[in-house]
Amino acid sequence: MKYIDEYRNSETAKFLAERIQKATSKSWNIMEVCGGQTHTILKYSIDELLPKEINLIHGPGCPVCVTPLEMIDKAIAIASRKDVIFASFGDMLRVPGSEIDLLTVKANGGDVRMVYSPLDAVKIAKQNPDKKVIFFAVGFETTAPANAMSVIEAKRLNLKNYSILCSHVLVPPAIEALLSSQNSLIQGFLAAGHVCTVMGYEEYIPLSEKYKVPIVVTGFEPIDILQGVYQCAKQLEEKKYEVKNQYSRAVRREGNLSAKKIIFEVFEVTDRKWRGIGNIPKSGYKVKAKYSMFDSEKIYDVGDIEVNESPVCIAGEILQGIKKPTECSAFGKECTPEHPLGAPMVSTEGACAAYFHYKKFDTAISEK
């Protein structure tokens, strides 16, 4: 299969692993930003192919995982209203709020629906003029064009009953927040290829120069990851700090100009709180004032919500790459995909879920 089989070829993977071994003489900490990359690394045991000098750190690259607890509780409060149809991608439904999740709202009689596209939510609004339809618009820059397009389409259709609860987060400010932290161990980054497909990679150049870190835009297949690690490690060995594009089959320096135009028609940059990390300046999108009639936060006043995370869950440290999921005392015990304490165990891109599916057996053996 073109563009799939060749990026999962075992011989190519072994060859790249040998090149990484030969190119590496020192220990390096490289963070993969995207949770999809984390799952590829663990599913295909790429971490075991790499030399011991390469330590892969898992980053906060899961938009479900970093959606703040307060926003989940706000979604639950809105979804519990009798006049509302609340639409969301499926993985958000099981993310625990401070007391319950959206699936519990559904079980209690709330009209909560899973959709595959925000335009599906627009269709629901058109079909149900007597109901207020809210779409939970979360994600990195990758999902922003479709979410913005749903607002544009709702305006075109003159729908008065559609709005979005916006919790978009942006990757470059998060990278800077991680690099500026006193606890940071990161020496290089594998940037998320899908984000850069939309936004390009020009925003990463000043970060690479300022913090003296190589950043390699990387895809999601095993060969992509190995090529990204090789390009990053090679720069570190040679004391070079540049932005490289491994994912050139999908990413251009300037990104997708049409998609960016749609984003900035509806959204503007704002400060955003990240679950487990805290407030990061200019790290999110909010709905522009001219589209405020489609902004759920403007329409539904649920008050100021301040809540605390579970004291057992160390999701914040995991999302910052300070600890691995297996270092959490609740991992695989009190916290499982069926009964998650934190978002990283829920999401299909969460690091805890990846370790549970691909590393739990290894962990059990090591404990014995």
How confident is residue 303, by pLDDT bands cut at 50, 70 and 90?
low
For residues 18 and 79, state if they share a domain: yes
Same domain, 350 and 279: no
Q: Are residues 252 and 324 in the same domain?
A: no
Q: Which of 311, 338, 356 is the last residue of a domain?
A: 311
- Dig out the tokens for 304 from the structure: 């100021």
Q: Cα separation of 207 and 211, whole Å?
A: 6
Average pLDDT estimate for 217-236: 97
User: Can you tell me whether residue 85 is helix, strand or coil?
Assistant: strand
Average pLDDT over residues 51-74: 90
* Beta strands 278-287 and 162-169, pairing class: antiparallel
Last residue of a domain, one of 311, 327, 342: 311
Same-domain pairing of 304 and 360: no
For the chain, give the percent of residues with pLDDT over 70.
95
Which one, of 246, 214, 218, lies nearest residue 232 by Cα? 214
Q: Is the pLDDT of residue 222 over 50?
A: yes
Q: Quick one: DSSP state of residue 274?
A: E
CATH number of the CATH domain containing 163: 3.40.50.11740
Q: Cβ(166)–Cβ(297) under 8 Å? A: yes
- Range(s) of the domain holding residue 328: 315-367
Do 88 and 221 belong together in one domain? Answer: yes
pLDDT digits 0-9 by tens, 28-39: 999 999 999 999
> Going by C-beta distance under 8 Å and a sequence separation of 6 or more, which residues neighbour residue 194?
34, 36, 140, 142, 220, 250
278, 295, 311 - which closes a domain? 311
* pLDDT value, residue 315: 86
Structure tokens at 104: 């519990």
Q: Which residue has the tokens 């305006």?
A: 155
pLDDT at 360: 63
Residues 243 and 110 in one domain: yes
| Calpha distance 100→103 (Å, rounded) | 8
Cβ pair 285, 144 in contact under 8 A: yes
- Same structural domain, 221 and 358: no
Q: Percent of the chain at pLDDT above 90? A: 76
**298 and 334 fall within a common domain:** no
Model-level pTM? 0.91
Tell me the C-alpha distance between 118 and 149, whole Å: 8
Split at pLDDT 50, 70, 90, the class of 343 is: confident
Per-chain mean pLDDT for the chain: 92
pLDDT at 171 over 50: yes
Do 285 and 144 reside in the same domain of the chain? yes
361, pLDDT greater than 60: no
- Assess whether 250 and 324 both reside in one domain: no
The answer on 225 and 287 residing in a single domain is yes
Residue 62 confidence class, pLDDT cut points 50, 70, 90: confident
Tell which wins on pLDDT, 3 or 238: 238
- The tally of domains found in the chain comes to 2
What is the pLDDT at residue 208?
97
- Same domain? 220 vs 345: no
Task: Identify the DSSP state of 246.
Answer: S
Q: Which residue has the tokens 């916006």?
A: 166
